[in-house]
Amino acid sequence: MVKPFDVTKFRKNITKSIDGLGVGFNDPTDWISTGNYALNYLISGDFNKGIPLGKVTVFAGESGSGKSYICSGNIIREAQAKDIFVILIDSENALDEAWLKAIGVDTSEDKLLRLGMSMIDDVAKTISNFVKDYKTDYGDKDPEERPKVLFVLDSLGMMMTPTDVDQFNKGDMKGDLGRKPKALTALVRNCVNMFGSYNVGMVATNHTYASQDMFDPDDKISGGQGFVYASSIVVAMKKLKLKEDEAGNKISEVRGIRAACKVMKTRFAKPFEGVQLKIPYETGMDPYSGLLDLFEKKGLIVQQGNRLKYITADGKEILDYRKAWGKENLEIVMQEVSNQVVTDEVTLSETNLQEEATTLEDGDTNAN
pLDDT in tens, 304-352: 999 999 999 999 999 999 989 999 999 999 999 998 865 555 454 455 5
Same domain, 197 and 306: no
Give 89's contacts (C-beta < 8 A, 6+ positions apart).
Answer: 115, 116, 117, 123, 126, 151, 152, 153, 154
Mean pLDDT across 7-26: 78
Q: What is the pLDDT of residue 227?
A: 74
Chain centre distance of CA 264: 11
Report the residue count for the chain: 368
- For the segment 342-363, the average pLDDT, to the nearest whole number, is 52
**CATH number for the domain that contains residue 56:** 3.40.50.300
Cis ω on the peptide bond leading into residue 155 (within 30° of 0)? yes
Range among 144-153, 160-169, 354-363 rated most confident: 144-153
* Same domain flag for 283 and 301: no
Domain boundary among 244, 261, 289: 289
| 304: three-class secondary structure by DSSP | strand
**Residue 156: per-residue pLDDT:** 87
Confidence band, pLDDT 50/70/90 cuts, at residue 175 = low
State the pairing for strand pair 112-115/85-90. Answer: parallel
pLDDT at 348: 44
Query: With bands split at pLDDT 50, 70 and 90, how would you rate the model's confidence at 197?
Result: confident
Q: Is the pLDDT of residue 296 over 90?
A: yes
State the chain's mean pLDDT as an integer. 86
Query: Does a structural domain hold residue 358?
Result: no
Q: Are 306 and 320 in contact (CB under 8 A)?
A: no
Quote the pLDDT of residue 107: 95
- Comparing 138 with 362, the larger pLDDT belongs to 138
Helical H segments across the chain, by residue range? 7-17, 37-44, 67-68, 76-81, 97-102, 120-138, 162-170, 179-195, 225-230, 291-297, 327-367
For residues 120 and 160, the answer to whether their CB atoms sit within 8 Å is yes
14 within domain boundaries? no
Are the CB atoms for 197 and 145 separated by under 8 Å? no
Contact assessment for residue 354 and residue 348, using Cβ atoms and an 8 Å cutoff: no
Question: Tell me, what's the pLDDT at 235?
Answer: 95
Q: What is the DSSP letter of 156?
A: S
Q: Are residues 237 and 323 in the same domain?
A: no
pLDDT of amino acid 346: 47
Query: Is there a domain that residue 123 lies in?
Result: yes
CA separation, residue 333 to residues 17, 162, 250, 291, 292 (Å): 52, 52, 27, 10, 10
Task: Please state which of the ranges 72-76, 194-198, 355-359 shows the lowest mean pLDDT.
Answer: 355-359
The answer to whether the CB of 315 falls within 8 A of the CB of 327 is no
Q: Could you report how far apart the first and last alpha carbons of the chain are, in Å?
A: 22
Q: Are 58 and 234 in contact (CB under 8 A)?
A: yes
**Res 356 pLDDT > 70:** no
CATH of the domain at 328: 3.30.250
Q: What is the pLDDT of residue 352?
A: 55
Report the distance separating Cα 210 and Cα 217, nearest Å. Answer: 8
Domain boundaries, position 98: 26-289
**Which of 272, 289, 306 is at the close of a domain?**
289
> What digits encode the pLDDT tens for the residues 136-157?
899 888 888 899 999 999 988 8
As a whole number of angstroms, the distance between CA 277 and CA 288 comes to 9
How far apart, in whole angstroms, are the C-alpha atoms of residue 262 and residue 276?
Answer: 9
Is the domain of 285 the same as that of 300?
no
**Would you say residue 275 lies in a domain?**
yes
User: Does 157 reside within a domain?
Assistant: yes
If asked whether residues 166 and 272 sit together in one domain, one would say yes
Query: Does residue 337 share a domain with residue 277?
Result: no
Indicate whether 303 belongs to any domain: yes
Q: How confident is the model at residue 179 (pLDDT cuts 50, 70, 90)?
A: confident
* Angle at which helices 120-138 and 179-195 cross, to 10°: 10
Same domain for 313 and 183?
no
User: Average pLDDT of 354-358?
Assistant: 54
Share of the chain above pLDDT 70, in %: 89
H or E stretch at 233 = strand 233-242
pLDDT band at 236 (very low <50, low <70, confident <90, very high): very high
The residue type found at 194 is M
Please indicate, yes or no, whether residues 166 and 220 belong to a single structural domain of this protein: yes
Give the highest mean pLDDT range of 112-116, 140-144, 163-167, 197-201.
112-116
- The structural domain count of the chain equals 2
The pairing of beta strand 149-154 with beta strand 85-90: parallel
Q: Are residues 109 and 187 in the same domain?
A: yes
Residues 53 and 195 in one domain: yes
Same domain as 303, residue 169: no
Domain boundary (249, 270, 289) is at 289
Q: Is the pLDDT of residue 358 over 60?
A: no
pLDDT at site 247: 72
> In terms of C-beta density within 10 A (0-12 exposed, 13-18 middle, 19 or more buried), how is residue 306 classed?
exposed
Q: What is the pLDDT of residue 366?
A: 54
Binned at pLDDT 50, 70 and 90, residue 363 comes out as low
In a domain, residue 228? The reply is yes
Looking at the structure, do residues 159 and 31 belong to the same domain, yes or no?
A: yes
- Has residue 250 been placed in a domain? yes
